[in-house]
Amino acid sequence: MAKKDYYEVLGVAKTADEREIKKAYKRLAMKYHPDRNQEQDAESKFKEIKEAYEILSDDQKRAAYDQYGHAAFEQGGMGGGGAGADFSDIFGDVFGDIFGGGRRQRASRGADLRYNMELTLEEAVRGVTKEIRIPTQEECDSCHGSGAKPGTSATTCPTCNGHGQVQMRQGFFAVQQTCPHCHGRGQIIKDPCNKCHGSGRVEKSKTLSVKIPAGVDTGDRVRLAGEGEAGERGAPAGDLYVQVQVKAHPIFEREGNNLYCEVPINFAMAALGGEIEVPTLDGRVKLKIPTETQTGKLFRMRSKGVKSVRGGSVGDLLCRVVVETPVNLNDKQKQLLKELEESLNGSSGDENSPRSKSFFDGVKKFFDDLTR
């Protein structure tokens, strides 16, 4: 009986890569494994799947198959897979990636660290370089991260023979689990380092120079690769993340790339207009106040804001004017205001206080509607 095309057996295209082939194999092997599937032809299908995978997962065998087909493996030509496949071995292949079968556990990468840094608004906008001191775990300089006492070394774990995993079998069923003796490392330290007590790391504090780029804002962070905790037994160190928090400013508030500030003006300037100085992060600038300016009016000063660390155009400065009621008046000032009040009351009110007239007209209409 002619054999099926191996690509059809696994249900993949001839252009399938290694990952696609392995994924298809795992799915089908799980489906047709005799321990899981009791159908009559499950065992033969399982063997067929195994044979196809053994050929297509090997670059040399796959190339020969693509060129000559099944003839490349007749009479033991390439040592292709056959019907006598070991089911327990296949089961280990299927679950190997899930349980870490046959693989020694890698030494753990060091933990990432976080440092919270407070900046003034000026520092955040312009950028700054600061020194920080952080507690961390570094590689032990006595054993150089091995965890073993100088002059000695770790030995192969006798329980797992250095694999880091032990296999539990029951018939065709096989499950890999972490070795309870070496905890997946494949090695044990009989004579640990006196300084780090076998961990390969020691607690220290270190000083780092951190360059904060211009334009950062609260919530941004700067990554310092490899400046976190040292890894276990020579594994790579983690990273350090500097988390930025910008302090409240006495004058400005930042929203995105724009800055906002409140500028108080007196009653006379609001009515008659004039020119005042307002602050920016680059110094003082002149702001022209037009006549009859009302409180709350926003004046936009282009490109006097912030340029984001992510690029783009510079934001604006928006000045919100607040008309300030005069206090601590002397007698002459009070008399002048009374004269002004009399002058305003003597007019129709429409011209001098249009908003007041509109408001009180609305109030009158509201109460008239209630009494109807």
pLDDT at 315 over 90: yes
The average confidence (pLDDT) of the chain is 83
What's the average model confidence in pLDDT over 208-231?
A: 91
149-167 confidence digits (pLDDT tens): 898 888 888 888 888 888 7
Least confident of 67-71, 305-309, 343-347: 343-347
pLDDT at 89 over 60: no
In this predicted structure, what is the pLDDT of residue 76? 46
What's the average model confidence in pLDDT over 99-109?
A: 53
| Range list for CATH 2.10.230.10 in the chain | 113-166+173-245
- Please state, in angstroms and rounded to a whole number, the distance separating the CA atoms of residues 345 and 353: 10
- Please state, in angstroms and rounded to a whole number, the distance separating the CA atoms of residues 368 and 372: 7
In this predicted structure, what is the pLDDT of residue 354? 67
- Please state, in angstroms and rounded to a whole number, the distance separating the CA atoms of residues 224 and 131: 13
SS3 of 189-229: CCCECCCCCCCCEEEEEEEEEEEECCCCCCCCEEEECCCCC
| Range list for CATH 2.60.260.20 in the chain | 253-324
In this predicted structure, what is the pLDDT of residue 37? 76
CA distances to 161, 268, 327 from 291, in Å = 90, 10, 22
CATH superfamily of 113-166+173-245: Heat shock protein DnaJ, cysteine-rich domain (2.10.230.10)
Report the CATH fold assignment for 6-85.
Answer: Helix Hairpins (1.10.287)
Exposure string over 122-139, b if 16+ CB within 10 A, otherwise e: ebbbeebeeeeebebbbb
In this predicted structure, what is the pLDDT of residue 236? 84
Q: What is the pTM of this model?
A: 0.55
Size of the chain in residues: 372
pLDDT band at residue 245, thresholds of 50, 70 and 90?
very high
256-285 confidence digits (pLDDT tens): 999 999 999 998 999 999 999 999 998 999
CATH number of 253-324: 2.60.260.20
280-299 confidence digits (pLDDT tens): 998 999 999 999 999 999 99
Three-state secondary structure call for residue 187: strand
Q: Which residue has the higher pLDDT, 130 or 143?
A: 130
In this predicted structure, what is the pLDDT of residue 101? 43
What's the average model confidence in pLDDT over 339-358?
A: 72
- Please state, in angstroms and rounded to a whole number, the distance separating the CA atoms of residues 189 and 151: 12
| Range list for CATH 1.10.287.110 in the chain | 6-85
